[in-house]
Amino acid sequence: MSTRDTAAKNWDDREIGVRPEIPRNRLPNQKKQIPKARPRAEIEPPLKLEIVQAGNSVLRQLARPLSLAEIAGKEIQNLIEAMRACMREAPGVGLAAPQVGLPLQLAVIEDREEYLKDAATEYLRERERRPVPFHAIINPALTEMDDDKVEFFEGCLSLTGFSALVPRARRVRVECLDEQGRKKTIEASGWYARILQHEIDHLHGGLYIDRMHTRTFTSAGNWTEFWKSKPISEIRKTLDIGSV
């Protein structure tokens, strides 16, 4: 999911210890020589991921769940960090594994404070948007907590340059595993709940265009020119959109 309604803009490798072999002819009182740690780039080069665009079949597949052994393994841990770097570079507030070509039940989320610093107070209040620290969700199951729906323009890193008005549940509960494979329950409202719903849709082969009010689908440029400054109620009336 992009950083704003349309498209608003660390690698942390694990150290791998090296245990040297002790020469057979070493005397008992010889001091053990500990090799210097190698630079991280020599241990494991960072993955360079590319975000796939709508039309790629992986975005329409049901992603498979990950096992605890897979989550603990080097490949998935490296993938999580690579997805974090890719999401920040985009920039976005969420990125699902299918968006980088991998049909896995994994997504990363982070709504950084710097993305919000220039936003108007009313804009943030209306969307209930607050900073969200980085985390991963794995094998998530989402439940809407009530019937309350809200509508805002939404963009996607896999639909670059477009946006649409999308109705979503205001409050959700997500049961998932975190990046360490621990069970986790998330209760979210507002913009965080929207991000969770958007990313979990990706894990089930969904895109926001499946849920959007089709009459509101717009390029980023036209959204800025015609709709950005208008309240949602006025947009609905102008475009003759029915009730949620």
Residues forming the active site? 199
Which DSSP string do the residues of 135-185 spell out, in sequence order? Answer: EEEEEEEEEE-SS-EEEEEE--TTSTTEEEEEEEESEEEEEEE-TTS-EEE
Contact 199, 109 (CB under 8 A): yes
**In whole angstroms, what is the distance from residue 156 CA to residue 220 CA?**
11
Rg over alpha carbons for the chain, rounded to the nearest Å, is 22
Cα-based distances in Å from 27 to 20, 33, 36, 50, 122 = 16, 13, 22, 53, 73
Cα-based distances in Å from 17 to 31, 34, 80, 148, 217 = 19, 11, 21, 51, 52
Work out the angle at residue 198's Cα, subtended by the Cα atoms of residues 186 and 53, and round it to the nearest 5 degrees. Answer: 140
